[in-house]
Structure 1
């Protein structure tokens, strides 16, 4: 309690408070609060986050109805076990101040495990318009099934949040033992730039925003007020508010919470990276204010100490990076290190006997992209897409390649590429400190299933142009901004899983704006890969699908257009699925034959992305998982592009895709994920 009081005093300026729940309890403050109604409102609703068996973080933001104010606003929080608040277990008066943009975070302790609680906030006589509902985690020895949803990528301008409304509606109708325990949000909760899509519009940023010279269209957030404005805009959406009011969220971030395709405090809007330490601090502060995560106070889920830390402001300047890295893989420029260190969000959670959820940060501690953007642009016309796989392997390994003897030059077609990474350490996505923590948690947990909340996919999405044209083509990684750009560390981590006999290992991921699933291995390119787990990737809630994004770059006169789409009847066939699942030769055959799948299958590359059990690049939606002692069941909900409002009805579903993965014994290879079962129309070419 002394530590709690210290943190409470220290963080009061950041809108952080703590309260203990105990029974019996008699409410006093709520009844004593009096004021005329109609003075205040809660435009971003309320939320809960990071539940443990005995605690949860509660959140809201308040404003006077007359508009923003610099004055503090007194709030009263109540937590109860019933919707009528006859059984109040915690009550606390807190102050919402301008220092935290009138957001408040209240850490509630001494709760009962596996219990549904209801909560509300009051300002004067005005009460939050939504009733908050949250649920603590079951005790570590609980044998019950765990139900969760996972989601990613919710561009406000890209579309509406129909998937959230459908998830709420279906959960309300579900039997009690199948209702969700929590939602795992895998990142891109906001998009820092305007111009991602056109279903809805955001008119400007408070600062006016920044405009990179090589980026066509849009502006991006520069200041704390800009990032706060984006969170307030996104959280004003009624479907997202309904989801946050119904379930506790466990959040990590990806890139857009700070800057597209970022690493450390570096933005990459242009081919030449730019250090923006002040933006990184502003983005971290806004995330901490608007996302109810438990960081410094989170109890460790295993004997491995908790590494997360609350936001602490640091005054920094935007300074060029030093070009040298420390023992943890971070650039040693002092402003860079201070900016990153303002907030640490990697953490783990225990849910009953069967789930250990490990949540990582794949942005703040990673090394720079393996192939420099300017070089990649010369090769493929893009800073981080369609990169030769052989080049990635050599560049990523740095000075460790070929037993410590990397080549000075690399042949590429009829040219040679200088090996600009030959003196650099191997690439890292997690950084040394987080990587050690991650390994230790996996090794120490005794939970049946080890789930990784992983903002970026482990599984490659490769394009086998060498199979389409053996004389000129090369195998290409679709993007280097995911784990396929950091294969050395991926092999190390998955090799650790294999070497230590860690069974029932599953990655839950997003980012790529498509539904896909399959197996994971230390070496995806081996003749007989040893599968050590599975991965399920979820499409975006509203962000433009991968198919539509690639389609916009491959115009009808582009010779590579058939690998993405071709006319089939009155619609476009999503032939990008074929390219990833069966290979480019099969995709070209499908396009040339007008969709003859027998001919396409005959041209299939048997080694093409062998790990994939499913891929639907033209999809939006969310996913659910049910975890028991003997299996994990995953359902992808694929919805119609959410481009028009639908109110409380929710999404129009295209299909439900069902996977089932049985548990396996320690030391055994993981069973390769089988093809899914479908409800509704299958995507091309599985039709």
Structure 2
């Protein structure tokens, strides 16, 4: 099982691709207590122009993130920073005025990691709200709010978002997520897009312009860094990051549209494509609040991981890109028992985690839709039906499963059947598919694809406008709101609209409209 192996780059080419030392990584997490906290030279004003973030929360802590970039859109991708190391102080407090600081430390922002730092904070209390900030020289970052996971847990609120093509519209969804301040945000892929941004073609966000350096498909580390800077310059995205910890997984556009493993659909040979994947994964780590476990090693990066929200829910974050088999060549290939979208090792990891879970809920979050739609949607789980059956069987042996996915730029709600071809088959959970934050512009309430989805009795919602999903989970039920916006291209001021609310009982997995 799994994608055909590709010869890894040699050590020499790996170093050429990464240019990264273990010391740079370690110092970006924690510097020695004896390190000098003062920059060797003044840092230009606006060092925190890309905001702050937290992620990978646990009962005793979380990962903090910022990236120094006083000139975020500098063409070289270095954000206007000097080619030298810069000490960055950080503090975590129990109050927003920092009267009760409980942790502080120092990290070194290095040009090797685009002057990003990833402090990993531990030793905190479970289920608590905390505030954090960074300091470099005399400059102080915006305030961040975050939370640790509970030790027990009776209620957990979370938002689900994906697909934020900055050039297609404003991020009203992130503005509303920030307003509601959930316990956590699940971001399910397509954080950036690799396409060239060209006025008169795909630049639909009104009132903005970009330089010619943005008009080409990105391929180099510097170009990926610049693209992250462009997207992260959005104030509403920064606000959503600053209000809650994020769980992140990638999908395809963080590298290239519809890629799988080392296979490009655009003619890049595998032995060359792994280099592109390496720089793309590197830039992803640099710009996300990820723990050291997710640091890529050249073209390989493990982002599937597991968390327990006390005894309320077990969370599994999936990678459905890096290990997938190529798209099927025919129907016999598509239905082959050997095909996998996850790879054998990740499959075993997921099934073991579900089997061992004692929580009433199991959250499984990935990039592409699990539910059966049509056999020609082979880029989704429809191209891997045997793997899907194995996942559904594993879900059926655990508590109620909640599958969180994105990718399709539509809101969809589906009941997960052990056998989608049999309407009487047991329901093992629900799938909540969030629409895009920005991709494909304003959208519509329905479109030509609706019939493909709504032909199935287990599909309970289809809406093609932009938005996000907000959920509240308790021990007895899950309440879900699908939120959309009437427009996003003109400005960021559109007001949210709750399209549909669903209730899912913990002991009877179904979507009950409210």
Bin for the TM-score computed over the shorter chain: 0.7 to 0.9
Q: Which residue of 1 aligns with 2:265?
A: 268
| Distance in 1 between residues matched to 2:268 and 2:70, nearest whole Å | 44
Q: Which residue of 1 aligns with 2:143?
A: 131
Alignment coverage as a number of residue pairs: 481
Report if the CA contact (8 A) 1:542-1:620 is conserved. yes
Q: Which residue of 1 aligns with 2:11?
A: none
| Distance in 2 between residues matched to 1:286 and 1:13, nearest whole Å | 13
SS of 2:439's equivalent in the other structure is coil
Q: Which residue of 2 aligns with 1:336?
A: none
Classify 1:167/1:87 alpha carbon distance in 2 versus 1 (closer, same or farther; 3 Å).
same
Q: Which residue of 2 aligns with 1:673?
A: 511
Report if the CA contact (8 A) 2:47-2:68 is conserved. yes
Report if the CA contact (8 A) 1:77-1:93 is conserved. yes
Classify 1:260/1:447 alpha carbon distance in 2 versus 1 (closer, same or farther; 3 Å).
same
Structure 1 portions without partners, runs of 5+ = 1-8, 21-27, 172-178, 209-217, 297-308, 314-338, 372-390, 401-425, 463-475, 549-572, 583-607, 665-669, 678-687
SS of 1:450's equivalent in the other structure is strand
Query: RMSD of aligned C-alpha atoms?
Result: 2.9
Q: Which residue of 1 aligns with 2:297?
A: 312
| Distance in 1 between residues matched to 2:450 and 2:22, nearest whole Å | 56
Q: 2:499 aligned with 1:661, yes or no?
A: no
Displacement of 1:432: 0.1
Q: 2:64 aligned with 1:58, yes or no?
A: yes
Displacement of 1:63: 3.6
Q: Which residue of 2 aligns with 1:192?
A: 194
Displacement of 1:503: 2.5
Higher RCO by CA contacts (8 Å cutoff, separation 6 or greater): 2
SS of 1:220's equivalent in the other structure is coil
SS of 2:246's equivalent in the other structure is strand
Q: Which residue of 2 aligns with 1:482?
A: 380
Displacement of 1:654: 4.1
Q: 2:432 aligned with 1:516, yes or no?
A: no
Displacement of 1:574: 3.2
Displacement of 1:16: 2.7
Q: Which residue of 1 aligns with 2:12?
A: none
Q: Which residue of 2 aligns with 1:49?
A: 55
Report if the CA contact (8 A) 1:55-1:107 is conserved. yes
| Distance in 2 between residues matched to 1:263 and 1:344, nearest whole Å | 15
Describe the superposition over 1:595-614 as per-residue Cα deviations: whole angstroms up to 9, x where unpaired.
xxxxxxxxxxxxx3121011
TM-score (norm 2): 0.86
Larger radius of gyration: 1
Q: Which residue of 1 aligns with 2:277?
A: 280
Displacement of 1:243: 0.8
Classify 1:643/1:282 alpha carbon distance in 2 versus 1 (closer, same or farther; 3 Å).
same
Classify 1:295/1:272 alpha carbon distance in 2 versus 1 (closer, same or farther; 3 Å).
closer
Q: Which residue of 1 aligns with 2:8?
A: none
Q: Aligned runs of 1:525-544 on 2, under 5 Å? A: 525-526=421-422, 528-544=424-440
Q: Aligned runs of 1:171-250 on 2, under 5 Å? A: 171=180, 179-195=181-197, 197-200=202-205, 203=210, 219-250=216-247
Q: Which residue of 2 aligns with 1:291?
A: 288
Report if the CA contact (8 A) 1:45-1:60 is conserved. yes
User: Which range moved further: 233-242 or 35-44?
Assistant: 35-44
Q: 1:576 aligns with which of 408, 429, 448?
A: 448
Describe the superposition over 1:547-605 as per-residue Cα deviations: whole angstroms up to 9, x where unpaired.
67xxxxxxxxxxxxxxxxxxxxxxxx8353652355xxxxxxxxxxxxxxxxxxxxxxx
Q: 1:83 aligns with which of 96, 99, 110?
A: 96
Q: 2:494 aligned with 1:622, yes or no?
A: no
Displacement of 1:39: 4.1
SS of 1:134's equivalent in the other structure is strand
Q: Which residue of 2 aligns with 1:106?
A: 119
Describe the superposition over 1:190-248 as per-residue Cα deviations: whole angstroms up to 9, x where unpaired.
11222483223674676x8xxxxxxxxx6321111111111111111111011111111
Report if the CA contact (8 A) 1:520-1:531 is conserved. yes
SS of 1:219's equivalent in the other structure is coil
Q: Which residue of 2 aligns with 1:685?
A: none
TM-score (norm 1): 0.65
Classify 1:631/1:19 alpha carbon distance in 2 versus 1 (closer, same or farther; 3 Å).
farther
SS of 2:63's equivalent in the other structure is strand
Describe the superposition over 1:501-559 as per-residue Cα deviations: whole angstroms up to 9, x where unpaired.
312111011111000101112321125332221111000001016967xxxxxxxxxxx
SS of 1:513's equivalent in the other structure is coil
Q: Which residue of 1 aligns with 2:306?
A: 348
Q: Which residue of 1 aligns with 2:251?
A: 254
Classify 1:205/1:276 alpha carbon distance in 2 versus 1 (closer, same or farther; 3 Å).
farther
| Distance in 2 between residues matched to 1:522 and 1:274, nearest whole Å | 39
Structure 2 portions without partners, runs of 5+ = 1-20, 72-78
Classify 1:274/1:105 alpha carbon distance in 2 versus 1 (closer, same or farther; 3 Å).
same
